[in-house]
Amino acid sequence: MSKQIVVIGAGIGGLAAAIRLAAAGHSVTVFEALPRAGGKAGIAEHDGVTFDTGPTLLTMPEVFDDLFRAAGTSLAEQVRLVDPLPAFRYLWPDGAAVDLHRTPEASVAAVSAALGSRAGAEFERYLAYTKGIWEAANGTFVAGYAPTLGRLLRMGPATLAKFTKIDPMRSMKRAVDSFVSEPHLRDICLRFATYNGSDPRVAPATLNCIGWVELGLGGWGIDGGLYALVSALEATAKRLGVAFVYGQAVGKISKTGGRADGVVLQSGEAASADAVVVNADAAHLYRALLPDGTRPGQLLAPSTSGMTVVLRAEAQVKRAPHTVLFPSDYGHEFADMFDRGQAPEEPTLYLCAQSHAHGRSGWATAEPVFAMANAPAEPLDGETGAEGWVAFEARMLKRGIDAGLLSAGDAVVWRRSPRELAATFPDTRGALYGAASNDRFAAFRRPANSAPQLDGLFLASGSAHPGGGLPLCALSGRRAAVEAAAYLEQK
Ligand SMILES: Cc1cc2nc3c(=O)[nH]c(=O)nc-3n(C[C@H](O)[C@H](O)[C@H](O)COP(=O)(O)OP(=O)(O)OC[C@H]3O[C@@H](n4cnc5c(N)ncnc54)[C@H](O)[C@@H]3O)c2cc1C
């Protein structure tokens, strides 16, 4: 029997849940506060050229293929993946440089050539270790139910054996140190913690599997830009009958007798529903959206934020699709962000040349280049206020100019500081990826996809299980849809 579903937010998790619930025959309405779909996977335009303002790399494309197939189409029918060549270029102030590729064999060979055969052998062993974690974690812990201790014990010895394989008890950094002695290679491995906005010194070693997801399974661009994926998801949802209401923020979820029964928009208008899926951050749900008198859940710390800009950059400069310029001491960056709560003194600069990575067209003699440096979630203890972010942006871009990756004449045509990110996405504190995994038990403490506070309330976002990043948010949407469909069947 078709039921009414309201989804709050048209980010990736919201779109994924909406598609799956509509494909199952339900009537779905998405309320989105912003004027368009995508959430943090955003797009902007300057002087006739459009560019992505959020994600730059797609991993686990099979997750999106599975989503499109649930709607009777496929990823290949919707977008064309672009193979970045090389996958990533890593640079250091001492002149070291490594290009990694989309197959582990090619990456190991490149590390051997750039950093020596011993480093190559270390990297090969590290990648085999990350593959083992991924294979143990993927089906059960990533795509499955949010883990609880009880569920883990009920799953029996085979699952418990998998649990030890995912290496949850030591920190990510300790594991990296045990495999890798070459300092540049260590930086590359530790950086995978930042894909989840976490601190490798305390995040569980399980997160090393991110290395395998990118380097073993591969990372892609999307022809025309990452936003083409958002457009395809939105069009697919509309084809299934999903109604999108843009520029309408939900103010409150309503309930009757312990069950969510709809939403009240900030405009005062009400919409009834048999179930509500929240794509907004769990922090926003707990602070603002839960019906009065409903107990909020526990929150994990937010992931890191970032200073993000798009430059109209001189096209003659030779750039890899993705470039990472490390600082002289990467450890300082984590200490700045997580111990001192301040923007890094010498930030790691990440650049995505959108023409090379996604085939985006540029201006006559310039191309759109996305630049980003990680920063702590708001509020800051050190550099506060707009002037702090202006100085941080200048520091970050100067590093690019000094290294010859950017030109002094390149113009910033779009920018978003952590403070602006926090203002756009309510209660996120500017976190790029939702919640961080900054303790060993984070996976157990992450909000589950069925809210325990209220029947008929489901969570699908980077702040809920299984976590942030495009594919995990889509999986969050899948779990929320599966659990909502089961609830609606019983209703
Ligand atoms: C700069 C940047 C770079 C990134 N790079 C990558 C990358 O390369 N690869 C990758 O995989 N991931 C990357 N990420 C992370 C990825 O973009 C996010 O994890 C993902 O897009 C978040 O999806 P989500 O489902 O959590 O929804 P969100 O994007 O958080 O969207 C939630 C939506 O809910 C809406 N909303 C909130 N409250 C309300 C309300 N009360 N009423 C109505 N609507 C509401 C918001 O407006 C928003 O549209 C990046 C993120 C950023 C910001």
Q: What one-character-per-residue DSSP string does 126-186 give?
A: HHHHHHHHHHHHIIIIISSSPP-HHHHHHT-HHHHHHHHHT--SSBHHHHHHHH---HHHH
Q: Is the pLDDT of residue 265 over 80?
A: yes
Q: How far apart are the first and last CA of the chain?
A: 10
CA nearest 435: which of 460, 453, 461? Answer: 461
Q: What residues does 30 pair with on adjacent strands?
A: 7, 244
pLDDT at residue 141 is higher than 90: no
Q: Is the pLDDT of residue 208 over 80?
A: yes
Task: Report which DSSP code applies to 442.
Answer: H
State the pLDDT at residue 384.
54
| Beta-bridge partners for 254 | 262
pLDDT, mean of residues 123-137: 96
Q: Of all atoms in ligand 1, which is nearest to the CA of residue 308?
A: 1
Contact 17, 458 (CB under 8 A): yes
Q: How large is the average pLDDT for residues 185-192?
A: 98
Q: How far is the CA of 285 from the centre of ligand 1 (A)?
A: 15
Task: State residue 381's pLDDT score.
Answer: 47
Query: Is the CB of 198 within 6 Å of ligand 1?
Result: no
* b/e 387-418 (16+ beta carbons within 10 angstroms → b): ebbeebbebbbebbeeeebbeeebeebbbbbb
Ligand 1 lined by 447 (C-beta under 6 Å): no
Task: Give the residue among 7, 475, 461 at the shortest CA–CA distance from 237.
Answer: 7
| CA dihedral (478, 222, 396, 385) positive or negative | negative
- Range in 137-141, 288-292, 407-411 the model is least confident about: 137-141
Residue 367 pLDDT more than 70?
Answer: yes
Q: What is the residue-averaged pLDDT of the chain?
A: 94
pLDDT of 228 strictly over 60: yes
C-alpha dist (Å) from residue 467 to 12, 219, 225, 279, 449: 12, 18, 23, 12, 11
Domains, the chain, ordered by start: 4-38+227-300+446-490 (3.50.50.60), 103-217 (no CATH)
Determine which helix (DSSP H) or strand (DSSP E) holds 314, and give its type and residue range: strand 305-314
- Residue 157 has what pLDDT? 77
- What is the C-alpha to C-alpha distance for residues 480 and 474, in angstroms, rounded to an integer? 10
* 382 pLDDT more than 50: no
- 311-320 pLDDT, tens per residue? 999 998 889 9
Binding site membership of 39 for ligand 1 (Cβ less than 6 Å): yes
SS3 of the chain: helix, strand, coil, percent, to 5: 40, 20, 40
Instruction: Choose one of 40, 82, 419 to mutate for the ligand 1 pocket test, by most ligand atoms within 8 angstroms of C-beta.
Output: 40
Per-residue model confidence (pLDDT) at position 386: 64
Query: In this predicted model, which residue has the larger pLDDT, 166 or 61?
Result: 61
Beta strands at 219-222 and 81-82: parallel, antiparallel or unpaired:
antiparallel
Q: Summarize pLDDT for 433-453 with one digit per residue, the tens.
A: 999 999 888 888 999 999 999
Does the beta carbon of 31 sit less than 6 angstroms from any atom of ligand 1?
A: yes
Ligand 1 centroid to 412 CA: how many Å? 23
The arithmetic mean of pLDDT across residues 165-176, rounded, is 94
Indicate the pLDDT class of residue 153, thresholds 50, 70 and 90. Answer: confident
Of 488, 490, 491, the closest CA to residue 25 belongs to: 488
- For ligand 1, atom 37: residue with the closest CA: 280
Q: Is 363 helix (H, G, I), strand (E, B) or coil?
A: coil
Atom 5, ligand 1: residue with shortest CA distance: 55
Q: Please state, in angstroms and rounded to a whole number, the distance separating the CA atoms of residues 143 and 479.
A: 8
Ligand 1 centroid to Cα of residue 434, in Å, is 8
